[in-house]
Amino acid sequence: MLRFLVRRVLGAIAVLFAISVLVFLIFNVVPATNPAQRIAGKNATPQLIKNVEKEWGFDKSLPEQYWTQMKLIFTGEVKSYNAHINVDERIVEGIPATASLCIGAAIIWLAFGFLFGYLSAVRSGGWLDRGLTVLALIGISMPVFWLASILLYYFTYKIELFPPSGYEPLSDPGKWFSHLILPWISLAVLFAGFYSRVLRSSMLDVMNEDYVRTARAKGLSQRRVMVKHVLRNSLIPVITLFGLDFGVLIGGGAIVTESLFNIEGVGLFTAEALKQQDFPSIMAVTLFGAFFIVLFNILVDIGYAYLDPRIRLGASAA
Amino acid sequence: MSATPETAPVSPGTGGGPLLEVDGLRVGFATEDGRVQAVDGVDFQLEPGEVLAIVGESGSGKSVTAQTLIGLTRSPNSHIEGSVKLNGEELTTLSEAQLQKVRGRQIAMIFQDPMTSMNPVYTVGRQIIEAIRAHDSKVGKRDAHRQAIELLEAVGIPDADRRVDAYPHEFSGGMRQRAMIAMGLALEPSILIADEPTTALDVTIQAQILDLIQDLNRSRGLATILITHDLGVVAEVADRVLVMYGGKVVERGTLTDIFYDPQHPYTWGLLGSLTRLDQPRPHRLPQISGAPPSLLNLPSGCAFRPRCPHEFGKCKEVPGLEARLPEDPNHRDRCWLTAEQKRRLREVEGRIGLEEPRG
Ligand SMILES: Nc1ncnc2c1ncn2[C@@H]1O[C@H](COP(=O)(O)OP(=O)(O)O)[C@@H](O)[C@H]1O
Ligand code: SF4
Ligand SMILES: [Mg+2]
């Protein structure tokens, strides 16, 4: 276990390093625009551009620039080109909003994904399964921005059940909750539909396993066979998906939902950074996101070993 | 087809009567390609303490027969007819919840592949404990754990108090099959159904598992239905034998009947292709040529007709399972040949076998 962790953490550092180099190169080599020009503005004099280059270090070599950039990010002093705000501080400020959005949505989508997937599998072929299948497919095919717009229009403007938008801190739980309920639903519907399908098909596979027949042959109740043997052995595909999806979202990937509901989280900041092509911000949010993706990957692998004793962490692939 | 009981019926629970009585069992499955009649009229009785073997090539309906006995083939697309009586109590009409009380407690079942028949995510002990506690929730965890160790010891697993907490993948194939048997014994059932229990194992391990089954049969009076495609296995342990082909019983009799006075050409074929150590290799007869029939499209008349070298005009009619030897009403077969013809035709190269089909 310890060897596994050490190896995975070293691997994660290597991955983050590679990603940072890649993003750095994409922004500094591929589009041959001059960042100093952008910072100085459209009508800047050549002298002003020169000054900006010196001040921001664009006249240095690329490795030097990379080093400076990374140092700034990791010491929390990195400033955005555009508004000159502290990028790290802005990301940290966004974490509570993003975490509230993602954790709440994940609880909803896991609950419904499991419930619907389980019922579908247990009643496979019956009317309940068919109904849930249709429901899941509708959920999967609804674009998030579309669903969010409909919810906002109907519940916020038409019947004014929920407040318009924004994020309210958890210090006022009622407000926090009422501001988040629509974003949670918007984000969760697609995942709930998808996860229920994945769980259903995984369970149907497991139902054909010999050990499920053994479980029935020893006189276990139908429910016990389904929960302890079928469901228990169907979790790996769902856990795999969840690790990836949740890692992406909590790392700032809920861009559409945060933008539409004006939730000032990491996703919204990512959207702004991308729109303004603000290199330091993009670099920082990319590393932030990559960190969570890598982290959840490691957690998923630990989850595998917990779920299936045949997977021993010491021996698993790096 | 009405079965004439081999022993007079007795009231349930008084002992002496058949433990299990199967009458006119038919199991069909609705599939995309049409209806598969996997079992087509199987009758037999199992006496307390005996070992009944069911033999036949793969696909002849042995597993479906066995699983149907404890209701494991029930599903929306299966159709089950006939009767299965345990101590006189009809099982086919029991509810799922009632059947759960029979499974494991009165009739235990073990399967072909011990590698896949245990849940890989739970320890062996936990799976045995689960069986015990499913039937008696009053048994405490610790008691059940101790029982599990005793059961593992009883089936010859060394170091049982340590192995009880190991996972199935930490057991060898033979040990796993022993553990499966231990799980089967947990509730002291009166019947053990073993579906090809040795097929997936090495030859030396096969013999050990058969010894164990025979041992349990003798020491505990555990009536056993042993399913196999290998007559060699049958010769080791069986008291009586059912030979199945195309979902039907084509011959049934005592072990001696089947080995020394076989009446059905299919049985001759199975015997002829039997691996016999007392015969040098070149003298072994080939497998029965041709493939078992598709259950979707069984030949009319005798199902063995396309592969039978002795087929004649009458074989276009379905032969019943009848006693065709006047001196032995319990030895029955489904072949139109006369006893005299059979005695003559089954002699191939000085021993019993099935010659190559003509044409
Ligand atoms: N659930 C099922 N649905 C459709 N066909 C089945 C099902 N179970 C078994 N069969 C068919 O029934 C036939 C007999 O199978 P089986 O009893 O397993 O044979 P055996 O155990 O003698 O090898 C096979 O042709 C098999 O394909
Ligand atoms: S009934 Fe005819 S075809 Fe069938 S086994 Fe006997 S001789 Fe062969
Ligand atoms: Mg079989």
Find out whether A182 and A151 touch, Cβ atoms under 8 Å.
Answer: yes
Angle at B215 between CA B214 and CA B221, to 5 degrees: 85
Model confidence at B285, pLDDT cuts 50, 70, 90, reads: low
Dist CA A232 CA A238 (whole Å): 11
Residue with the bigger pLDDT between B6 and B272: it is: B272
Find out whether A217 and B70 touch, Cβ atoms under 8 Å.
Answer: yes
What pLDDT sits at residue B105? 95
Q: What residues does each domain of chain B span? A: 116-187, 262-352
What pLDDT sits at residue B15? 53
Q: Is the CB of residue B60 below 6 angstroms from any atom belonging to ligand 1?
A: yes
Chain A residue numbers touching B135 (CB-CB < 8 A): 219
Question: What ligand 2 atom has the least distance to the C-alpha of B310?
Answer: 7
Q: Is the CB of residue B245 below 6 angstroms from any atom belonging to ligand 2?
A: no
Find out whether A21 and A28 touch, Cβ atoms under 8 Å.
Answer: no
Q: Which residue of B has its CA nearest to A123?
A: B76
Model confidence at B145, pLDDT cuts 50, 70, 90, reads: very high
Dist CA A8 CA A21 (whole Å): 20
Q: Given an 8 Å threshold on Cβ–Cβ distance, is B100 in contact with A307?
A: no
- Residue numbers of B between 107 and 136 with CB closer than 8 Å to A: 108-109, 111, 113, 116-121, 130-131, 134-135
Which domains does chain A possess?
16-87 (no CATH), 97-317 (1.10.3720.10)
Model confidence at B4: pLDDT above 70: no
Counting Cα atoms < 13 Å in the Cβ hemisphere of A102 gives: 25
Q: Which residue of A has its CA nearest to B104?
A: A218
Question: What ligand 1 atom has the least distance to the C-alpha of B61?
Answer: 17
Find out whether B9 and B87 touch, Cβ atoms under 8 Å.
Answer: no
Atom 27 in ligand 1: residue holding the nearest Cα: B59
Chain B residue numbers touching A309 (CB-CB < 8 A): 120-121, 167, 169
- Ligand 3 midpoint to CA A42 (Å): 80
User: What's the Rg (C-alpha) of chain A?
Assistant: 24
What pLDDT sits at residue B6? 43
Label the pairing between strands B322-323 and B332-333. Answer: antiparallel
Chain A residue numbers touching B109 (CB-CB < 8 A): 217
Residue with the bigger pLDDT between B353 and A1: it is: B353
Residues 6 or more apart whose Cβ sits within 8 Å of residue A184: A101, A104, A105, A108
Atom 7 in ligand 2: residue holding the nearest Cα: B311
Q: Which of B273, B263, B262, B191 is nearest to B230 (CA)?
A: B273
Q: Given an 8 Å threshold on Cβ–Cβ distance, is B119 in contact with A218?
A: no
Q: Is the CB of residue B28 below 6 angstroms from any atom belonging to ligand 1?
A: no
- pLDDT tens for B45-102 read 999 999 999 999 999 999 999 999 999 999 989 999 999 999 999 999 999 999 999 9
What pLDDT sits at residue B340? 92
Model confidence at B162: pLDDT above 70: yes
Nearest CB partner across the interface for B130, out of A216, A220, A307: A220
Dist CA B81 CA B37 (whole Å): 11
- pLDDT tens for B212-252 read 999 999 999 999 999 999 888 888 899 999 999 999 999 99
Dist CA A19 CA B102 (whole Å): 61
Judged by its nearest atom, the ligand closest to the C-alpha of residue B30 is: 1
ipTM for the predicted complex comes to: 0.88
Dist CA A278 CA A271 (whole Å): 10
What pLDDT sits at residue B8? 40
Residue with the bigger pLDDT between A38 and B261: it is: B261
Dist CA B309 CA A156 (whole Å): 83
Model confidence at B195, pLDDT cuts 50, 70, 90, reads: very high
Chain A residue numbers touching B199 (CB-CB < 8 A): none
What pLDDT sits at residue B305? 93
pLDDT in tens, chain A (318 residues): 788 888 888 999 999 999 989 888 887 776 556 677 777 777 778 888 888 888 777 778 888 888 888 888 888 888 887 777 888 888 999 999 999 999 999 999 999 999 999 999 999 988 999 999 999 999 999 888 899 889 888 888 888 787 777 888 888 888 898 889 999 999 999 999 999 999 999 999 999 999 999 999 999 999 999 999 999 999 999 999 999 999 999 988 889 999 999 899 999 999 998 888 888 888 899 999 999 999 999 999 999 988 998 887 655 443
In order of A219, A309, B197, B226, the CA distances from B189 in angstroms are 12, 31, 17, 15
Tell me the nearest-neighbour CA distance from B33 into chain A, angstroms: 18
Model confidence at B14: pLDDT above 50: no
Q: Is A3 on the interface with B (CB under 8 A)?
A: no
Q: What is the mean pLDDT of residues B201-216?
A: 91
* Residue whose CB lies within 8 A of the most ligand 1 atoms, among B27, B40, B63, for a mutation test: B63
Q: Is A222 on the interface with B (CB under 8 A)?
A: yes
